[in-house]
Every structure is written in C-alpha cells, then in structure tokens.
Structure 1
Amino acid sequence: MTLAADEDASEGRPDARATQFQPSIKWPDLGVQLFIHLGCLYGLYLCFFARLYTVLWAFALIYSSGFGITAGAHRLWSHRAYKATWPLRLLLVFLFTIAGQRHVHAWALDHRVHHKYSETDADPHNAKRGFLFSHVGWLVLTPHPDVVRKRSSIDMSDLEADPIVMWQKRLYVPLFALLVIAMPVLVPWYFWGESLWASFFIAFNFRFCVTLNIAFFVNSVAHMWGNRPYDKDISPVENLAVSVAALGEGWHNYHHVFPWDYKTAELGGYAFNLTTGFIDAFARLGWAYELKSVSAEMVRRRVERSGDGTHELWGWGDPDMPPEDIRELEGCRRRDD
C-alpha cells in the first residue's frame, strides 16, 4: 500500500464522532436472511429424500456460479487483475448473477472500499467488529457513516464504461428472478420430474445459502484464523479450508498485500486455487489476457520484511534446514523490521 493509501485509511479510523454511531437493524434484510438460512436447513433435510440429480444440480450451480464471483466480480471487475473479451465477460456476469450477490457494480464498489479502508470504520464488513458482523451482520445492519462517505469517493468509471456490467445493473431485478430463482428451480421439475416444493428449497434456498456463506467465509474466517506469511501486521490470513471452499479465495494475506495479482495467491497450485486454473484456461483460448502477477523477488522481499515467519522461504517445517540457517534468517528479518 502506498503512503497516500495509508493516509486515506487513517481517515476511516474511529474518532470521537464515530464512536457515537449505533447501528440499527434493517428488518427487511434480516427477514430475507432468516428465510434463506432457515429454508436452507429444510432444504438440507429434503436432500435426503429428493432425486439425486436435484442435489447434484444444486452443487453444480454452487461451484459454477462461484467462478462468477471469484474470476468475475472479484479478480476481473474489482481489481482489474486481468482483462477479458466480451464473451468471457458475458459468461462471468451470467454466472455471477446466478450466485445472487447483488449486481457487479455494487459488489465491486464495496470490495474496493474494503481494500482501501480495510479494518477501519469505513470497511463495509470490518472484521474488527467480530465474526458475526463480518460474516453476515453487515448486511442486516445500517452501515457506518464512514462506509457511506467512502463509497461515494471510489472511482467506478471503468465499470461504468463496461456495457455488460451496466446492462446487468439496469436489469438486475428481472435477471435475479430468472437466474437465481426460476431457472435453478424449474430445471429439476421439468427435466427429471422433481417436485416444485423440493426443487425450490434445494435448488434455491439450500443452494443460494451455501453460495452466500462460502463467500461470507472470505470476509470472516479468512480475516481471523490462519497464518500471515506476507504481512503479520494486517488481519487477513492464509486459510486452506476457505481456499478449498471458495475456489482459491482463502489465500487472503497474500491477496491483501498484492491485490493486483490475478492468482490472489503465491502457493497452492490449481488444486487449492481452481479460479486461477479457470482464468488460465481462458487465457489459452485468448479470452483472458494481460494477466497481472507479482515477481518472485518482490514476494521474497515482502516475506523477509514483514512476514510472520511461516512462509516456506524461512524453512519452517523443513527438517533438513540447519539451525544456524534458521537463526540467520530470523536475524535478517529482525534487522529489516
């Protein structure tokens, strides 16, 4: 982060005025979340009695639509970590809409605010306010005034110049009804005779709730439990479980240090970062291009300067590394700090 960015971030820290803020519950939003989550539990129960194809369909939608979040709204539109031709952008906006996480413009706006003012009052899902708030509470409580102010200061001109993004924003309500509710529910009913009742609670409630919570884990778990090999002084962590569930989005310490890297990770490979494999596959087709990444030398310098000592560069967990070499590396890091 640049000095200017650091100064901007300081504006989001609590002050005398900010400490007086008391959020209130947005009751309609709370009602929606309760319906989604309680219906998910019922949908999970129905999974044991429904047709196998219905359950497989729900999980296929969970992970295919996940690429719309990770490769689309996150790495492409929020961070501009690579560029995509219009067919890929159209595919990604289609998948992202199925995920049901608002339109791309709104999602990317909040994500840019989150990175610029991370862990301050201006962060929409500030992890310092606790697990429940960062996981889902921020969606059902009125936002801090700093969040509202900083949202208006973010440059979104690149997304506003993208006709596919603006088309989805303009038609989001009918697209939500069609792609989040109607299409997932009607396919099992029409093609293999599933009841509409079971199809609704499995292919909508269960599927939608699981998709939401996998994304929520990046805001909560990946800011709390894990190691910090690149910057020990920030909240985001490297969390393998979140990386597996969220298609590679759990390498969060790396991502907050190097947000422009299209891989959002240094380690893990395709096995724990399926989104990178997805983007690389489309790069081979020529649909994704100008992929941005970080050099190994830049990573090494950052690890040695501010990491917590858990990076493999330090030899942690390597039984063959001589103790004197480990002591030398530790001394090097202390001098840099």
Structure 2
Amino acid sequence: MAAFDIQSEVSDKKQSSQEVSCEANGKSESKICTQYIGTDYSYKHQIVWKNVIGFLILHLFMLWGVYIVVTGGIQFRTFVWTFFVMYIAAEGVTIGAHRLYTHKTFKASPLLRAVLIIMQTMAGQNSMFIWCRDHRLHHRYSDTDADPHNAKRGFFFCHMGWLMTKKHPYVIELGKKIDMSDLQADWMVMFQKKYYYHLYILFAILIPVAVPVYYFNEPWLESFLVAYMARYILSLHGTWTVNSLAHLYGTRPYDKNLQPVESWFVSLLSQGEGWHNYHHAFPWDYKAAELSTHLNASAIYIEFFEKIGLATDLKKASPEMIRNRIKRAGDGTHFEFGIEEERSAVKALGPLHPLNPSYTSTLPDPEATLRIEGLPLYHEKDILNCNSVTVRRNVGSTK
C-alpha cells in the first residue's frame, strides 16, 4: 500500500466510519454511504465468545507442548523436525500466499505453485483464496475500519483480537468487492479452497505428527502436542507480529504517512516480512524490502527459484523510485538518505537497539483517511495515476 505526502482534503470534515442506511430501489438497506473511511473509535467490536474459548484451549495445549520441549520430554530429532515443518509452513505463507498470490510480485512454475500451496496449507491460516482476499483488503484499506486487523484499534486487536470479534461492517462489505478473478482462474487455488479442511488434516496434522511417531518412536500424545499444537500456535504468533509490531513499533523511512513501520525484530521472526513500511510503499516488490540480503531469507529463496527456472518476472522498485519516495515522503530515518537528528529520534523499553521489539520512532504516528475506493495494490504507476487517498497528519507534527 502507498500514500501521497499531501494534506488532507477532509481535515475540516467529520470522518464518518459508520454504516448508514441508504434508500435503494425504494427499500432501506444497509450499505456503505460515506465517501471517506478512517477509524471510528466509537464503534465497539462484538466479542465472539466461542472463538475466545477456542483460542484459550489452543493456547493451553500450546503451553503443554512447550513444557514438554523445555523439560526434555521429546527427542532432539523430533524438535528439529518440528522446527523444519514450522519453517517451511511459514515460507508457504510468506513466499506463497503473500508475495506470489496476493501481490503477484513474481511468476511461479506449476511445480513451485503446487509446493507453495501445500506449504501454506501446513501453516493452517485458512485457504490460499481467503488468506489473499483478506490481505488484499488489508492493503487497500490499511489501518482503517475496512482493514480486518486495523492497527489503530491497538496492539491486542491487530495481533489476535480481530479473530475473536465480529468483522466490522466495512470489512464484510468491501471484502466482497476485492478483485479475486486471478485466483478464481487458478485451478490449484480453487482445488485447495474446495478441499481445504481435508488437505489441512493431512498436511498440517497427520504428517507432522506421524513422522516422529513412526520414525522416531515418539508417543502419539507428545508428538501431537509438540509437532502440531505448539508448532501451530507459535507460528501463528510469528505471523501476527507482522500485523501488530510491524504496524506499531519502528520507523518510517520510506513514507511517514503510512502506519506500517520497519521492524528488525519482526523481520528476524518472519524471514523478511518486517520491512513493512517499505512493503506498503512498494507492495509489488518481490523482496518486500529494499534489500534482499538483510534479514530477508524469503527474498533469497525467490532469487534461488529464479536461478533454477522455477520463478520468473521478479518485480522490484528501481533505486531512483525508492530514492524519490524517501525524499518525498520519508521520515528522515533511512540508513543512507536520512538525517542524523531523525535517526536518533527513537526510544525503546530496555536496550536502544533495532532488534528490541519496542524500538520505535518518537515522531507522531500518521492518521490516514482513505477514499471509499481505497488504494491500489500492485504498482506505483497506478498510485501516481490515482487520487484515492488523503492523509490527515497529527497536529504538531514536525514532518
């Protein structure tokens, strides 16, 4: 996602993020009638208690599995197998669901697409189709009420609370308008969508649990708690840090008008997904970062796939495009084109180091208001030709 460095056209207007009643064809029906979407803080999300209880049970099983690991209740080779499954499942999300299918940052051969779909199934984060739909919605309406995990609602909500509440009406209504025709035309994606739960049981539960049982002689219970429960929930939290930490704690060297930030810590956890200010500025770049060599294993893997002929047409922003964006909209913290005063305008709880999860800029957070059509998803040429975003900056901002 990207935004322009301009003052809001609606700073003197009330930001309406509430669903209103419209007259259509002589009947009153619930529709989105506002021209702009921001965050309506008076809206209260309704808790879905069965989801809350479900997450509580899953986390208790996860803690049981972690206890087994730290007390030596499994063999080392079972631990290695579990880590391997967790790692490749995470790459199925990062490379497959995110960079390939959501943002179309490169093209993949049928073999690579099939492998990535299997890996993404192992992660247990819903089908490829639904994952991509929600993530496209997140980019088009990032950090507004139409964003499924709106970071303006606070850390817990954007980390996992959004999965425990009913979706905001804007998420439901605008989610239906996201163009998914490319995925609907992909028979592999639709096959996985149709048989997702069958495939999930096979690839996410049975195979990961059965390998330690049949090859390492682990008991079924210990294998289930470690190779499935602990692995699954811990990997979810790793993904969720991209929605939470990488939207709240860090710097904005590429576009200070975007809520997402650069987070070393999240990049370390997620194989390169924490360079989030860059990613939202240039969502079509296969690296999801300016550099592929700095805490960005996923970009290195994509480059390897290109070398062996499994990936083609890797898209990336040119150095000139990046430099222009930094100078036009950056917060001054860029490692090369930044300003020392702005680079030092950071704080943290504990050691003042970028790997500290709380390392963050002291500059004011942006407050964005988007037009109803939202933001483009794929290429800067679309952004330069649209007028879909307005940005309201906090009073007293030094930028």
Please indicate, yes or no, whether the TM-score normalized by the shorter chain is above 0.5.
yes
Q: CA–CA distance in 1 between the matches of 2:225 and 2:337?
A: 49
The alpha carbon displacement at 1:231 in A equals 0.8
Q: 2:120 aligned to 73, 88, 96, which one?
A: 96
Give 1:221's aligned residue.
245
The alpha carbon displacement at 1:234 in A equals 1.6
1:289 partnered with 2:338:
no
Map residues 195-214 of structure 1 onto 2, 5 A cutoff.
195-214=219-238
SS at 2:189's partner residue?
helix
Q: CA–CA distance in 2 between the matches of 1:104 and 1:191?
A: 31
The answer as to whether partners of 2:93 and 2:123 remain within 8 angstroms in 1 is yes
- Structure 1 counterpart of 2:268, which letter? V
Q: CA–CA distance in 1 between the matches of 2:3 and 2:81?
A: 45
Q: CA–CA distance in 2 between the matches of 1:242 and 1:289?
A: 27
1:111 partnered with 2:135:
yes
The alpha carbon displacement at 1:287 in A equals 1.0
Give 2:283's aligned residue.
259
Give 1:327's aligned residue.
none
Give 2:352's aligned residue.
none
The answer as to whether partners of 1:13 and 1:120 remain within 8 angstroms in 2 is no
- Structure 2 counterpart of 1:75, which letter? R
Give 2:60's aligned residue.
38
The alpha carbon displacement at 1:218 in A equals 0.1
245-254 or 173-182, which deviates more:
173-182
Q: CA–CA distance in 2 between the matches of 1:221 and 1:147?
A: 22
Give 1:326's aligned residue.
none
- Structure 2 counterpart of 1:56, which letter? V
Give 2:17's aligned residue.
14
**1:68-125 residue CA offsets vs partner (Å, 9 max, x unmatched):** 0010000000001111111000000010000010000000000000000011100000
Greater strand fraction, Structure 1 or Structure 2: 2
The answer as to whether partners of 1:13 and 1:121 remain within 8 angstroms in 2 is no
The answer as to whether partners of 2:3 and 2:255 remain within 8 angstroms in 1 is no
The answer as to whether partners of 1:36 and 1:208 remain within 8 angstroms in 2 is no
The answer as to whether partners of 2:104 and 2:284 remain within 8 angstroms in 1 is yes
State the TM-score, normalized to the length of structure 1: 0.88
36-45 or 131-140, which deviates more:
36-45
Describe the shift of the 1:121–1:79 C-alpha distance in structure 2 as closer, same or farther (beyond 3 A): same
The alignment yields a C-alpha RMSD, in angstroms, of 2.2
Q: Aligned pairs, how many?
A: 314
Greater helix fraction, Structure 1 or Structure 2: 1
Describe the shift of the 1:306–1:271 C-alpha distance in structure 2 as closer, same or farther (beyond 3 A): closer
The answer as to whether partners of 1:127 and 1:134 remain within 8 angstroms in 2 is yes
Q: CA–CA distance in 2 between the matches of 1:13 and 1:196?
A: 54
The alpha carbon displacement at 1:317 in A equals 5.9
The answer as to whether partners of 1:122 and 1:147 remain within 8 angstroms in 2 is yes
The alpha carbon displacement at 1:20 in A equals 6.1
- Structure 2 counterpart of 1:275, which letter? S
Q: CA–CA distance in 2 between the matches of 1:196 and 1:175?
A: 20
49-58 or 131-140, which deviates more:
49-58
The alpha carbon displacement at 1:24 in A equals 2.0
The alpha carbon displacement at 1:161 in A equals 0.5
State the TM-score, normalized to the length of structure 2: 0.75
- Structure 2 counterpart of 1:24, which letter? Q
- Structure 2 counterpart of 1:100, which letter? G
Give 1:50's aligned residue.
74
SS at 2:228's partner residue?
helix
Describe the shift of the 1:94–1:16 C-alpha distance in structure 2 as closer, same or farther (beyond 3 A): closer
- Structure 1 counterpart of 2:277, which letter? N
Give 2:334's aligned residue.
311
Give 1:333's aligned residue.
none
Q: 2:49 aligned to 27, 31, 36, which one?
A: 27
Give 1:240's aligned residue.
264
Give 2:92's aligned residue.
68
**1:290-313 residue CA offsets vs partner (Å, 9 max, x unmatched):** 111000001001101111111023
Q: CA–CA distance in 1 between the matches of 2:323 and 2:293?
A: 21
Give 1:78's aligned residue.
102
Give 1:329's aligned residue.
none
Q: Is there any run of 5+ residues in structure 2 with no aligned partner, and where?
A: 21-39, 342-398
Q: CA–CA distance in 2 between the matches of 1:63 and 1:165?
A: 22
Q: CA–CA distance in 2 between the matches of 1:157 and 1:306?
A: 33
The answer as to whether partners of 2:305 and 2:311 remain within 8 angstroms in 1 is yes
Describe the shift of the 1:143–1:195 C-alpha distance in structure 2 as closer, same or farther (beyond 3 A): same
Give 1:183's aligned residue.
207
Describe the shift of the 1:270–1:177 C-alpha distance in structure 2 as closer, same or farther (beyond 3 A): same
